[in-house]
Amino acid sequence: MIPLSEILKSTAGAWGLLHRRPEAVNQFNLSLEGFWRSFQIHILLAPLHFGILIMLGQSLDPELTGGKGTTFLGAAVIYTAHLASFPILMIFLARHLQLAHNYVPYIIVQNWAGVVEFLIYSVIVVLIYAGLFSSTTFAFAGLILMILFVMYEWYVTTQVLEASSFVAAGLVVVKTLLTLVLQEGLGRFFVA
């Protein structure tokens, strides 16, 4: 299992990259072992992820969700597909783009960047659940966060994968579209 010290260092590294500090890459375990451990953190976060989904289901205005939600099984399938799909796709894209030499560090940092994104998003969901924000505010905050996270992922891609700005932008678009397709496509099979 992943040591607590690695969780703290890697999360600090991801936070540093959010603040555009390129030296933060040195905080990560960029070994093959670190690669597999970077997926383990998402297994540890899964219960929190499902808790957030439950809070969202109870907090959001039914008009925003169309009165429908995803079943627990559906959420688990989407979560797993989301974690696996981009790293698998990147095997082929990195080779094609001649960036395969940075594939392992890139996926490691992407996984830890996802932790920081999840934590930020979770704070907003908890504030909504507590009644401090409205569903409309959540929609606006979601848009702002999406823009912030796209910029963050672009920065990570340029720094760690060492892709050009143009290629990095394309990869971020691919990852974002893949996430949306998985959520919408798989979500249709698991509507509560």
137-152 per-position pLDDT tens digit: 878 888 899 999 999 9
The DSSP 8-state label assigned to residue 132 in this structure reads S
What is the rounded average pLDDT of the residues 129-136? 78
What pLDDT does residue 192 have? Answer: 55
Give the three-state DSSP class for 70.
strand
What is the rounded average pLDDT of the residues 57-79? 60
- Specify the range with the lowest mean pLDDT, choosing from 58-67, 90-99, 161-170: 58-67
- Encode burial over 49-82: b for 16+ CB neighbours within 10 A, e otherwise: eeebbebbeebbeeeeeeeebbeeebbebbbebb
What pLDDT does residue 60 have? Answer: 46
What is the rounded average pLDDT of the residues 85-108? 97
Structure tokens that stand for 188 in this block: 């249709």
Domain chopping of the chain, boundaries: 4-190
Cβ-in-10-Å burial (0-12, 13-18, 19+) of 128 comes to buried
pTM of the shown model:
0.88
- Specify the range with the lowest mean pLDDT, choosing from 43-47, 62-66, 81-85, 185-189: 62-66
- Does the pLDDT value for residue 21 go beyond 80? yes
- Does the pLDDT value for residue 18 go beyond 90? yes
